[in-house]
Structure 1
Amino acid sequence: MPSPEVDRMVDATAGRVAGPAFGLGSFLRRARVFHPRGRSFTARVRCAGDPRLVGTVLGRAGVHEGTVRLSRGAGLPEPLPDLLGLALRLDLAEGPQDLLLISSAPAPVARHALLPARDYGGTHYSSITTFGVGTTTVVLGAVPVHSGPRLERLQEVSEAVDAGRLGLTLLVAEPFGGWAPVADVELTGPVPDGPGERVRYTPFHHAGGIEPTGAVNALRRRAYADSQRGRPS
């Protein structure tokens, strides 16, 4: 398991530099530094209850309402390849649980890499970084459940959701192990752009017990907080 002492050191040193830089970027762009363009959808998440995730929302069987945002990381013109983002918020009685994933690959080493993609319905999504769950370290992922043509534009994603042709399967893997499904995500309808874009996702919303660990996530903590403070309301 990663060392909490190392995490605190990274947060107190590099994090203090990264945070203001991301805040300035959001202020100048008047939007998210990364993933400025996206579409949001209401979601229903059916968790199977994975024993490796005991003590977390994904470790117990149940159905939860939430929101999914699919986005373009750099905001490049469609349909150019970009880092495709998938943000999931579970609305729990204890508070929000956010899971932030990005286009990647399923193989053990590649699942930690950022890989540009074009097709929202045909890429593998990964958390890239790890999460500590009890005594186990895991990586989270997702694969689309999609029937129909490629989804290379956000409008095409919206049309696929409206037609009931796009859903997601959430996955979990140990860093060098195989992937296993842990939940099904049904995309139930669009969220208007205004309310959808005001949702502020962060991996540090972890009311469901899925908490990021490690030095990279320690660096991200201030970057997320300051970036969100720099955005317009």
Structure 2
Amino acid sequence: MRAAELAGLPIRAGAAIRGARLFHPNGVLATGTLTRTASDSVGLPVETGPVIARVSKGVGAPGALPDVIGLAIRMEPHEGDETPWDLLLASALGGTGWRKTIPFPARSVDTAVLSTLQPLDHRDASWWLRARLVPERADKCIATDQIARRIDDRGLVFELEQTQGHTPFFPLARVELTATANESDYPDIGFDPTVHTTRTVRPGPSWLSSIREVAYRRSRQGRDAES
């Protein structure tokens, strides 16, 4: 058994015991639109179109307690692709340098800096993504019921930025979530950036992607075993 498979066994067990996702168990599913703001030929090949996304809490801390905030975005398949394209970001220790690789609890979705935590390899270059809520609001929220109300009342808009290597970040796209969705209507949503990606983009480095791929699969298997 590969090391990555061994590492995934505790995750499967944890998901089975919990009867839910081991990571990011509490979240809000929503529909919306991604609008590309970068030039078509610059950076990652995201395209303007509808998305389904999930804003979540990493360990499921109740209420307004700080937690690692997650943002999962599913884009429709690009022409010629067999799967949709999933982007996953989480609140990080910071938005630049090594800090963007460390998941870190946030007190509010308004002030969190979200990062892919690992690079995305595209055409022989490594790209990083980060996201921030815009505009930042005075009524800070992190509880999932607050997030759901805000999506339905006013919408949530995230600014996606990209960078190649250690160069400054620059705008890539805006993601506007405008309506919550019932997770029971999407029983097989299964966000997984290691499986659902476009042909020219792969999460890197390969050893980390292998571990994450097993972790996502084991979590789904454990959850399904209890359903």
Question: Does the TM-score normalized on the shorter chain lie above 0.5?
Answer: yes
Q: 2:197 aligns with which of 201, 206, 222?
A: 206
TM-aligned CA deviation for residue 121 of structure 1? 2.1
Q: 1:172 aligns with which of 133, 143, 162?
A: 162
TM-aligned CA deviation for residue 172 of structure 1? 0.9
In structure 2, the residue matched to 1:136 is: 125
Indicate how the Cα distance of structure 1 residues 81 and 175 shifts in structure 2: closer, same or farther if over 3 A, else same. farther
Q: Is the 8 A contact 1:40 1:196 kept in 2?
A: no
Q: 2:35 aligns with which of 41, 46, 49?
A: 46
Q: Deviations over 1:1-29 (max 9, x none)?
A: xxxxxxxxxxx732021122222221111
Partners of 1:122 and 1:166 in 2: how far apart?
Answer: 13
SS at match of 1:44: strand
Q: Is 1:154 aligned to 2:139, yes or no?
A: no
Partners of 1:196 and 1:153 in 2: how far apart?
Answer: 22
Q: Deviations over 1:50-101 (max 9, x none)?
A: 5343xx532xxx4211111011101112211111111111122532100010
Give the paired residue count: 217
Which stretch shifts more, 41-50 or 120-129?
41-50
In structure 2, the residue matched to 1:29 is: 18
In structure 1, the residue matched to 2:208 is: 216
Which stretch shifts more, 28-37 or 144-153?
144-153
Q: Is the 8 A contact 1:97 1:208 kept in 2?
A: no
Partners of 1:137 and 1:111 in 2: how far apart?
Answer: 14
1:100-111 equivalent positions in 2, closer than 5 A? 100-104=88-92, 105-111=94-100
**Could you state the TM-score of these two structures normalised by the residue count of structure 2?**
0.87
Q: Is 1:192 aligned to 2:173, yes or no?
A: no
Partners of 1:207 and 1:231 in 2: how far apart?
Answer: 27
Q: 1:122 aligns with which of 97, 111, 123?
A: 111
* Identity fraction in percent: 26
Which stretch shifts more, 131-140 or 14-23?
14-23
TM-aligned CA deviation for residue 198 of structure 1? 4.4
**Could you state the TM-score of these two structures normalised by the residue count of structure 1?**
0.85
Which sections of structure 1, spanning at least 5 residues, go unmatched? 1-11
In structure 2, the residue matched to 1:5 is: none
Q: Which amino acid aligns with 1:174?
A: Q
Q: Deviations over 1:159-211 (max 9, x none)?
A: 22122242111111124221111111111211013235642101121036432
SS at match of 1:57: coil
Q: 1:97 aligns with which of 85, 96, 100?
A: 85
What RMSD in Å do the two structures reach over aligned CA positions?
1.9
Q: Which amino acid aligns with 2:6?
A: V
Which sections of structure 2, spanning at least 5 residues, go unmatched? none
